[in-house]
Amino acid sequence: MMFRSLFDTARNYGFLHGCKQVFIYQQKFSLVNIKLKWVKDRTMDSVVTGQRDLKAAGILVSIIYSSSEGCLPIYRLSPHRRQLGLPDDVKIASFVRRYPNIFLESSFFDSGGSPVPCFGLSNEALKLHCEQVDVVRENQLEIRGRLCRLLMLTRDWMLPLQTIDQLKWDLGLPYDYQDSFVLDHHDRFSFVRLLDDRVGLKLLFWDDKLAVSELEKNASLQQHEEDVKNGTFAFPVSFTRGFGLKRKSMEWLKEWQKLPYTSPYTDASHLDIRTDVSEKRVVGVFHELLHLTLHKQTERKNVSNLRRPLALPQKFTKAFERHPGIFYISKKNDTQTVVLREAYNGGELVQKHPLVKIREEFANLMKKGLLDRSRGVYKKSLDADLVEGVRNEVCIAEKTNRFDSKDESDSILF
């Protein structure tokens, strides 16, 4: 009995001592002052180029399609400018006219006799958009899972609608997701009033089946058996050709990869934010967030207001710069876009969502319109434009049932 008691005591002490050692091991790694230079990657830049115009055109198509008239005057499109992400020096009318095979322009005269530009959709654009609506309908459970997992990453299972709006294109949510998609899944989501008086979206219950990160899902294929057993998952890493990694940086990265992996779906309040273990958790959060997006990329500013909801430390986006082998920061389109390297093989996505394929067809249509426009295919005479405007005036006026005083003043401006 005495021997068993001593054995149990020793075993318990060893167990506790081991736990204490693990805790010390996890916490003793302070952030190493490693600075890795940014190196331009033309292949990664190519997957970002064109995304801004594609997104802006897609949003405008959704706005026009959802209108009862099917053709909107320019002043009805202008309030949506901030959503489009266009440069300040690019007017909406100028952008729309770049793609005459997508947006059909007509005009009508306001009460003061001034012509007002009005834009509808071509048959090709309508066909692709209807296909997109069908794809969303067919994949609504999968898209719902993306939105659920986004909310599950947050501390309170909740995000302001403004934050979700910034990510809805990346996540593949319908443009009017608040009025359609969320209401169709009222058993999962609920609108709530936040402390700052904004409206937020809250997840109603936790789903353990969804709380598995992509890194954990692919563990059997990408990780060593010993790492899986110890829970020290390593992130897939690849660098731009010609990227020179110093020996000190290589050794740090090798040790950093061996640190314990904290799932982005678990509570990490026990981690010291000054440690590399905490930084690995931050990297894991963004690794998962980018996997939730269709193109495995998002603009850096879209995640700038996620610090508190995701329980992240100050200057959390520095993780992108410290780990250029996991993330690539593209500076195309006058902004910074974070791309998940492992998701691409060259300039092509390894796995393409059905919505991505529709968007690629849409992008090809846009390129064709630009090329044909440069060749003068869509060039018309001034007389032809006036005749078309008069012909459409009656149709537009009947649909809009005249304008109120505010609309009349807006039409004069344009």
Calculate what percentage of the chain has a pLDDT beyond 90. Answer: 57
Residue 409 above 70 pLDDT?
no
**Rounded distance between C-alpha atoms, residue 274 and residue 257, angstroms:** 17
Residue 405 above 50 pLDDT?
no
pLDDT at position 226, please? 67
- pLDDT for 200-243, tens place per residue? 999 999 999 999 999 998 876 666 666 666 677 899 998 888 77
pLDDT at position 227, please? 64
- pLDDT for 71-81, tens place per residue? 999 999 999 99
Average pLDDT over residues 253-276: 91
pLDDT at position 36, please? 76
pLDDT at position 31, please? 56
pLDDT at position 24, please? 42
Domains of the chain, by residue range, sit at: 51-129+361-403, 141-207, 213-349
**Rounded distance between C-alpha atoms, residue 281 and residue 261, angstroms:** 7
Average pLDDT over residues 374-398: 48
Nearest to 135 by CA among 359, 391, 404: 359
**Rounded distance between C-alpha atoms, residue 273 and residue 31, angstroms:** 9
- pLDDT for 295-348, tens place per residue? 999 999 999 889 899 989 888 888 898 899 999 999 998 899 999 999 999 899
Query: Six-digit token pair at 200?
Result: 């937020």
Q: Which residues contact 134 (CB under 8 A, 6 or more apart)?
A: none
Q: Which residue has the higher pLDDT, 394 or 244?
A: 244
- This prediction has a pTM of 0.82
Mean pLDDT of the residues in the chain: 83
pLDDT at position 26, please? 46
For the chain, the residue count is 414
Nearest to 319 by CA among 382, 264, 248, 383: 264
Region of residue 157 (left: phi > 0; alpha: psi -120 to 50; beta: else): left
Q: Report residue 241: phi and psi, to 5°.
A: -60, 130
pLDDT at position 37, please? 80
CATH of 51-129+361-403, one of 1.10.10, 1.10.3720, 1.10.1420, 3.40.50: 1.10.10
Residue 195 above 80 pLDDT?
yes
pLDDT at position 228, please? 62
pLDDT at position 99, please? 94
Sheet holding 103-109, edge to edge: 71-73, 115-121, 103-109
Query: Six-digit token pair at 293?
Result: 């997006």
Residue 413 above 80 pLDDT?
no
Residue 250 above 90 pLDDT?
no
Amino acid letter for position 120:
G
pLDDT at position 59, please? 96
Residue 257 above 80 pLDDT?
yes
Residue pair 148/208 in contact (Cβ under 8 Å)? The answer is no
Amino acid letter for position 391:
R
CATH of 141-207, one of 3.40.1000, 2.30.30, 3.30.420, 3.40.50: 3.30.420
Query: Six-digit token pair at 410?
Result: 């807006």
